[in-house]
A and B are shown apart, each in its own frame.
Chain A
Amino acid sequence: MRRDLLKAMLGLGATLALPRMAVAETIARVGVSARDLGALDPAFGIGNGDEFAIRQIYNTLVSCPDGTELIKVDQLQGELAETWNMSPDARTWTFRLRQGVQWHKGYGEVTSEDVAFTLRRMADPKVGSQYSSNYRLIQQIDTPDRYTVVLHLSAPSPFIYATAMMPRFGGYIQCKKAVEELGDKYRLNPVGTGPFEFVSYDPKQRIVTRSFEKYWGGKPRLDRLEVLFLSETASRTLAFVKGDVDMIEGATVPGWYPSLRKQMPNVVFDFGRPGGTFTMFINMTRKPLDNLKVREAMAHAVDQSVWQGAFGDFVEPMYGISPQGFYGALQKQDIPAQDWPFSFDPALSRKLLAEAGLPNGFSVDVFISEREEYKTNLLIVQEQLRKVGIQINMRLVDHSSYHADIRKDLNALIIYGSGQPPLTQAVLNAFYDSRAIVGKPTHNMNFSHFGDVAGNVDALIDQVNRETDDARRIATLKQIQFEILRQVPVIPLPSPAGAWVRNPRLDVGFPVHAFMGTFTLGKARLV
């Protein structure tokens, strides 16, 4: 009913929409799909709403070029860092800071002390940041002068910047003086160096920021930027159609994008790619899922093109364990023409089930988060598996319980959507290293038990994490992925883009091919 309502709503709205999208000249309003703010302290901000606002207020040392997810060290653009160098053994990183960068609210100039303070704060378990593990390799931080920071790592890490010094994963540089002065109040009173300075927060309603006159990148052309919390898809869509907001976060509802695109062709769709990793892990400790033939049967029954029919451009196929745009990801041309466990072949699926002693199929109990993207993915898988005789008995639980319970190893099939730095080895570390198996003291998100069950690639993962040669690193990443995928611990699902819809009047200043939380609106203007 809600989907029909959305479609009807779009239909009604489309006839009136574009000509009436007028907003105040220099105030841009952005509607995020969130009920409220979590935190504007980069150590604690989570979710798209927090991330978007934090990105506008703070800077990182380095970032991908605006609007892209180009992640290699020679592709990066400097933010607070002007230059950066890695030692040949990838154990020492030196960052030279931009001089004269000012903190908001008169907190003075950014120095190497602020950077050192930030990195130590993020790593400190007492602070309790969810990103603390991203900083575990940093053994020592030296600040030889006011503008130089030297990091000494406990192990080689050619990509340390990707998780610890870039947007989206807590890598924002914080003002030592402000954090110490404001204490707990810092959580909702951020002091950054970004293009927009925090003004106010209206709980459950909005965050208001204004352009920072002394922004090192030049004063932004938008006078104000407001982030509105619009969690209801219908309200968010209507507000956008009416022109009350200039940009909104898209909805992961089948038919939403194609309908909107068809009826409002002038609206700009910003699909951030590479998208998130949405995968279905198979808990290989459960019967009959411990049988490789059963897992292969499941894989052969799933057709990724079904998602494209439902979601259109919003999704793209994922051939390996990470989205196509991730560094080291498997591409279509890498996939063997024959004998590949993920080729869609329902007849082969039934044959494999029979060979596994399950000619009539089997049923499996699965719980899933009530969130649209989780639920919808499992429903599509459920329908496809049903056709080969595999029955998924689905139970809905709330999102928070879902995440708590899958970490207790309670589920048989685990749909998991995650935002990782666009690096295949980040996915490997989180989901396929045996030390990351759920239930272990060092656990992360290895839900399939790969490493303890059906193969182990830990040594290869360690090797690739240390590797500084690009060609060797890519080759090893591919080798690891083939070793993993042959055991079918996971069924890759199409990768969803980070999708936003924008009024054409809001010119971001560059083409957008990246997640909205990875770049600022410092160059944006209303035309």
Chain B
Amino acid sequence: MAGYILRRLLELIPTVLLVLTLVFLALRVLPGDPAIAALGEYATPDAVASFRQKLGLDQPLWAQYLSFVGDAVRGNFGRSMINGTSINALLLQNLPYTIELAAAATLIGVVVGIPFGAAAAVWRNHAPDMFSRVFALAGFSIPDFYFGVLLLIAFSLKLDWFPMLGGGQGLLDGLHHLVLPAVTLGVVMAAFVMRMTRSALLEVLRRDYVRTARGKGVPEQWIVFKHALRNALIPITTGLGIYLLTTLSGTITVELVFSRPGLGQLLIGGITARDYTMVQAGLVVFAFCVVLVNLLTDLLCALIDPRVTLR
């Protein structure tokens, strides 16, 4: 297991290098000039030239690339081109907000999605299944930003149960601020997990060994929870891992709607302002998260099913 993890971590190196290169090139190909974004529409040619020189944007592309990769490998993402803030400090400050949001949404997705999905499979075409269908349809149909605003109107503006802006200070206040954003993302995830669980469990419940167990008189609850659900958890976990990546992207919209700190805020702000250093760092961290989530998914699958071998 340790060797496998080490090997997978080493595989991160070429992946991250590829990401660094693609991100670097993509930003340079994009139209727009960070100098004008930073200095404004009235910037004189002198001011623009001075800005470009100061930030090394007047250097050849290969020199900029080497400098960027060299710094990134050392974990130094530099300073924001727009206001000079340390990117590392910004990442350290913002990343926990995004991670806790994604984790909370996943928790909601799992806690709501698996039991209701299992119930939908066991009582197929009955009330729990109908509920699961309606819930999933609603979850998939409502866009994040719209649902977020509806939650804000209902639970913050009207009922005043939750705060409207920011990420909160300290544990309790932080959790208080986390609820609505997490529900916004978690409901969609729960819808996905619900449908995933239903279909995986239905598939397993049709297998021969389940029929045999029933024939031998094993209680239905035992069959569902001990045998079927455990086997169904493999595709559910894989799907969850993939969907977690979508959730990470979804945090961007949710952070904007709730004016919540996080990686999404950094990225969108960086893209709008053509803040190359900010966007580069943000995308590298996102890519790193993607690779890490994939690794964790594989490890989790091995933990659930000993027949899965890690090679």
Residues of A within 8 A of B (CB): 1, 5, 9, 12-13, 16, 20, 35-39, 44, 46-47, 125-133, 184, 187-188, 203-205, 228-232, 234-235, 238-239, 241-242, 244, 397-401, 403-405, 418, 441, 443
Contact = CB atoms under 8 A, between A and B. Distances in A.
Contacts of A128: 39, 46-48, 50-51, 54
B164 A244 contact: yes
B31 A404 contact: yes
Nearest to A35: B269
Given A9-B149, A204-B266, A405-B31, A235 B259 contact: yes
Contact of A401 (B32, B41, B43, B90): B32
B82 interface: yes
Contact of B157 (A46, A126, A228, A242): A242
B40 A46 contact: yes
B36 A404 contact: yes
A130 B43 contact: yes
A249 B124 CA distance: 53
A398 B256 contact: no
Nearest to B54: A128
Interface in B47-66: 47-48, 50-51, 54
B265 interface: yes
Describe B's contact surface by its main secondary structure. helix
10 contacts: A35-B268, A38-B82, A130-B43, A188-B83, A228-B259, A232-B259, A238-B149, A401-B30, A404-B31, A418-B41
B192 interface: no
Given A126-B50, A232-B257, A400 B274 contact: yes
Contact of B265 (A16, A20, A35, A39): A35
Contacts of B84: 184, 187-188
B153 A204 contact: no
B83 A39 contact: yes
A184 B81 CA distance: 13
Contacts of A9: 149, 153
A418 B166 CA distance: 32
B183 interface: no
B269 A36 contact: yes
Given A235-B152, A235-B257, A403 B41 contact: yes
Contacts of A238: 149, 152-153, 156-157, 164
Contacts of A244: 163-165
A174 to B, nearest CB: 17
B103 to A, nearest CB: 21
A158 B44 CA distance: 23
B272 interface: yes
B42 A130 contact: yes
B203 interface: no
Nearest to A231: B256
Contacts of B113: none
Nearest to B269: A35
Contacts of A39: 83
B222 interface: no
Nearest to B265: A204
Interface centre among B38, B47, B84, B261 (most CB of A within 10 A): B47
Interface residues of B, number: 53
Interface string B71-91: 000000000001111000010
Contacts of A125: 44, 46-47, 50
B16 to A, nearest CB: 25
Nearest to A17: B157
Contact of B47 (A5, A129, A188, A241): A129
Contacts of B257: 232, 234-235
B161 interface: no
B244 interface: no
A244 to B, nearest CB: 5
Contact of B258 (A132, A231, A235, A398): A235
A38 B266 CA distance: 13
B67 interface: no
Contacts of B34: 400
Contacts of B44: 125, 130, 132-133
Interface string B84-127: 11000010011000000000000000000000000000000000
Contacts of A35: 265, 268-269, 272-273
A244 B94 CA distance: 22
B220 interface: no
Contacts of B27: none
B226 interface: no
Contacts of A46: 38-40
B95 to A, nearest CB: 13
A425 B62 CA distance: 46
Contact of A36 (B47, B82, B145): B82
B300 interface: no
A204 B93 CA distance: 11
A37 B153 contact: no
Interface in B229-275: 256-259, 261, 265-266, 268-269, 272-274
Interface centre among A16, A128, A238, A242 (most CB of B within 10 A): A128
B11 interface: no
B259 A13 contact: no
Contacts of B158: 12, 16
Given A35-B273, A39-B83, 9 more contacts: A35-B272, A37-B83, A128-B50, A129-B47, A203-B85, A204-B261, A229-B259, A234-B149, A242-B157
Contacts of A231: 256
Contacts of A242: 156-157, 160, 164
